[in-house]
Each structure stands twice: as C-alpha cells, then as structure tokens.
Structure 1
Amino acid sequence: MKGKKPYKFYILDLIFKIPWIIIGAMMAAISLEVILIPNGLIDGGITGISMMLSDKYGFSLSVVLFILNIPFVLIGLKHLGKRFAFLATLGIISLTISTAIIERSSTFVEGNFILLIFIGGLLLGMGIGIVIRNGGALDGTDVLALLISNRTSFSVGESILALNILIFLVALIIFGWKGAIISIITYFIATMVVDIVRA
C-alpha cells in the first residue's frame, strides 16, 4: 500500500502539470504568430531557426518546429529522464499544433510597435516560464539551458540568452540590423520573464 501512494501522487502531479504546459505552449504560439512574426521579429533557439527557415524558404513553421526539436527531446530523455522527455514532447507538440492553427487563421495585431515588442516578449516569456516551471520545454535550447543551469551557476534565462547569441547574429543577415536588434530586445524581455515565472 505504501508503495502505491507515491505512484498515485506522481500520476496526479503529472495530470496537474499537463494543462499548464498546454496553456504555456498556446501563449508562446500566440506571441509568435500574432505579434512577433507579423512584425518581422524572430524568437531565439530552435524556434528562431524554424522562423528563419519558414521565412526564407516558405516552409510551414509548425512542421519545421517539430522536426528540428526531435534531437533535443532525445537529449532530454538521456540526461533529464523519461518524465521530462514526456512533458517536453507534450510542450513541443502543443506549440506545433497551436502555431499550425493560428498560422491558418492569419491573425495579426496592429498598434504601437514598442508596446507590441513588450507584450510579445512578456507573453513569450510567460509561456516558456510556465512550461519550464511545470517540468517541460518548448524548444531545444530550453533543454540545453536546463542542462547548463543544472551544472553551472547560470540561471535558465541566462543560459537561454547565451545560447541564442549566434542565432541573432544570423538574424542580422536575414532581417537586418533593425529586425535583429529589436528581436534581441524582445527576447531579453522574454528571458527575464522566464526566470521570474520559474522562480
């Protein structure tokens, strides 16, 4: 009987976390498809790479997101365990489905550009933070950031930002100085929110 009790709590805890991961993924998808992409901005990490490939070659963002994140889920499975791999897979699939749905609706928001940057970064950071707080991930770099954070004094947000320097340098070429710098500012806001939500 004693052996079954922890397992019961484990399942209940997992069931509680699943809706939050889906909600976090949906928030990130709204930030990407409704605010960032229509305004020529990119996210960091594998999501940012997927956005650049989608913009340059016309690939579906949701499909590229899913394919490029598979190796990182396998890394998470090896180093962070089955539970993390399951929740990360759930997060990535939820993000993929959410972006696919919003992608088809062609929804966008207009208004003050500075306000949109702030809202986009805030919403993205909250989405990522909620997912990580509940044991999952939305992006391959989230997986790497968690590994770095577990082994160093860097926070998850700091690790994510450091990993994305190269991606934003590539963005300079594709989106130009203005698009890349504004993307960095947006992502900096997002990484600060990640650490606040995850704390």
Structure 2
Amino acid sequence: MREDIANQSRYTKSVVRIIAILFGVALISVGLEMFLSPHQILPGGIKGIAILLSHITEMKLGLILLFINLPFVIFRRRNVKQTMTALVALIVTMLFTLLLYPTQPLVSEPLLASIIGGVIFGSGIGLIVRYGWYVDGVNDVAVYLKKTIRLSIGEILMIINLTILACGGLYFGWDQAIHSVIAYYTAYKAIQFTLEYRSRKMVWVHSEVREKLANALRQEFGQDIAFLTHASQHGTELFFTISHHNIKKLNAMIQDVDQSANMKVSYTSSASSDPYYKI
C-alpha cells in the first residue's frame, strides 16, 4: 500500500514537472518571438546572443537557439537520461519558437514590449529553473572563466550580460539597448518572483570541498534541490534552488560538511534590504 502511494506521488510529481517545464518553454517562446525579438530587444544570456545573431544572419531564432545550446546540453550532462531530457526540452523550445516565427508582435511600442516580454520570458525561465531543467549555457561559461578570473560567478555573469547588451546597443542603437536593460531587469524580477512563490529560494555557496558538499546535498534533499551549475565541476562555488522550509536544515548540513563554507540566500522581505543576505 505504501509503495503504491509512493509510486503515485512520484508519478504526480513527474507529471507536474513535465507540465511546468512545457509551460515555461511556451512562455519563453512567446516572450522571445512575440515581444522581444521583433523589437530587437536582448534579454541577456544565450537567448540574447541568439536574438542578436538571428537579426545579423536572418536565420530563424529557434534554429540558432538549438545550435548554440546544443554543445552545452551535450557536454554538461552526466548520464544519458539527463542528456535526453535536456535535448528533448531544447527541441521543444525550438519547435515552439519556430511555430510562433511568422506571428506578428502583440505590441508595437518597444518600451511596452520590453516590460511585458521581460515578465513573460522571465516567468518561463523561473518555472524551468524551479523544476530543475538546464536553462542557459552562460552559467557554464561563467563557471569555466572562474578558474582563471578572480571574480565570483555572479560578477562574471553580470559582465557577460552587460557585454551582450552593449553589443546589441552597437548593432541596433542605444535606444534599443535601454529597452534591453529594462527587459533584462523585468525578466530578473520575474525569475525571482517565480522562484520565491511558495517559498522557493536561490542559494549560492562557496566551499573548498564543492563536489563533496554537492553530493551530500543531493543525497539529503533529492529532487528538492536543483543545481544551476554542474555540481561535479571543479571549483569552489555552487548555485542551486531549494524550498524555503529546508533552508535551516541546509545551513546546518553545510556547516557539518564544511565549517568554513559561506552561504547566501536570495532576498526575501523578512531578511534584509540587500539583494542577498548571509546565513
């Protein structure tokens, strides 16, 4: 009886996860093709690079997304199941985007498009991150650069995204760059809201025993923890999301594994006025 209930619970969670990821993919596609790309607005990350390249090469955005993300999906995954899951989701993203390609943009005003498109796009990203699917290869690039650059992953990501937005400004004009900054900010806030809805938190950890800590966290929290960087890569930093009710348990466990570790949790109104607060 207990096994049947457990199996049913796992099945329900799997169905919810698949639906959430597909809905997130649909939101991303709508945000890109019906709001951002038609107005030459870049949301940052791989998606921003793809929009820029699609206008330069006149190639369909969905195909560029596939070609750019494919190497990251293949080389990032540790087993066949993970690789196939990410590959299928990437192909679905491409198909959704291609399906919307001939559609006219829903709004003609770039400022309005940057706000609405950023919210829709960011909500889709947040859903996908929340349910553990791999989103953007820029995170892996930041992890790789961290080995040679004395900056945090967050600082490297900011530099990369600012560079993408600057390239868009040089090619499309600085008015569009301002709209891209607005879209980037609104997307960020939408991601934050989606992750924090029902107390989902984004966590950053600096530890000298990164891989050992990642394995311990994965074993303890299972599917509740979703790593945003490859947990087995060498380095000292981990990005992941986890339910809010597990934060205290997470902090205690991190201290047990590595007392010198530093952990920061995404902002909540009850924590601090700073973007991150230290545990």
Which TM-score tier does this pair reach, normalised by the shorter chain? 0.7 to 0.9
Distance in 2 (CA, whole Å) between partners of 1:85 and 1:5 is: 29
Any residues of structure 2 matched to 1:1-199 within 5 Å, and which?
Answer: 10=10, 12-78=12-78, 85-104=83-102, 106-141=103-138, 161-199=158-196
Cα distance in 1 for partners of 2:181, 2:69 equals 22
Q: Is the 8 A contact 1:92 1:137 kept in 2?
A: no
Report Cα offsets for 1:4-42 as digits up to 9, x if no partner: 987775554333211111111111111111111222212
Equivalent residues of 1:66, 1:96 under 8 A apart:
yes
Q: Percent identity?
A: 26
Query: What do the CA deviations read for 1:144-193 (whole angstroms, capped 9, x no partner)?
Result: 67999xxx9978xx885554122112212211211112102211110121
What 5-or-longer segments of structure 1 have no aligned partner? none
- Secondary structure of 1:164's partner? helix
Deviation at 1:112, TM superposition (A): 4.5
- C-alpha contact 1:31 1:121 (8 A) present in aligned 2: yes
Change (3 A) 1:33 1:178: same
- Count of residues in Structure 1 that have an aligned counterpart in Structure 2: 191
The alignment's C-alpha RMSD in Å is 3.3
Contact 2:110 2:179 in 1 (8 A): no
Runs of 4+ in 1 over 4 A off after TM superposition: 1-12, 81-87, 142-148, 152-155, 158-162
Distance in 1 between the 2:144 and 2:14 partners?
21
Q: Distance in 2 between matches of 1:33 and 1:11?
A: 33
Instruction: Supply the distance in 2 between the matched residues of 1:147 and 1:7 (Cα, whole angstroms).
Output: 39
Using the TM superposition, give the Cα deviation of residue 140 of structure 1 relative to its aligned residue in structure 2, in angstroms.
Answer: 2.0
Hey, what does 2:265 align to over in structure 1? none
Cα distance in 2 for residues equivalent to 1:115 and 1:154: 31
Aligned counterparts of 1:147 and 1:193: Cα–Cα separation in 2: 27
TM-score (structure 2 length as normaliser): 0.58
Residue 165 of structure 1 aligns to which amino acid in structure 2?
A: L
**Cα gap change, 1:143 to 1:160, in 2 (>3 Å):** same
CA shift for structure 1 position 110: 2.5
CA–CA distance in 1 between the matches of 2:97 and 2:193?
25
Give the TM-score taking structure 1 as reference length: 0.79
Cα distance in 1, alignment partners of residues 31 and 65 from structure 2? 15
1: CA distance between counterparts of 2:173 and 2:81?
Answer: 40
CA distance in 2, matches of 1:191, 1:159: 16
1:73, distance to aligned residue in structure 2 (A): 1.1
Larger relative helix fraction = 1
Distance 2:156 2:85 in 1: 20
Q: What is the CA–CA distance in structure 2 between the aligned matches of 1:195 and 1:122, rounded to whole Å?
A: 11
Q: Secondary structure at the match of 1:55?
A: helix
Conserved in 2, the CA contact under 8 Å of 1:40 and 1:175?
yes
Point out the structure with the larger strand share. Answer: 2
Deviation at 1:114, TM superposition (A): 3.0
Amino acid in structure 2 at the alignment position of 1:36: L
- Identify the range of structure 1 (10-19 vs 21-30) with the bigger mean alpha-carbon deviation: 10-19
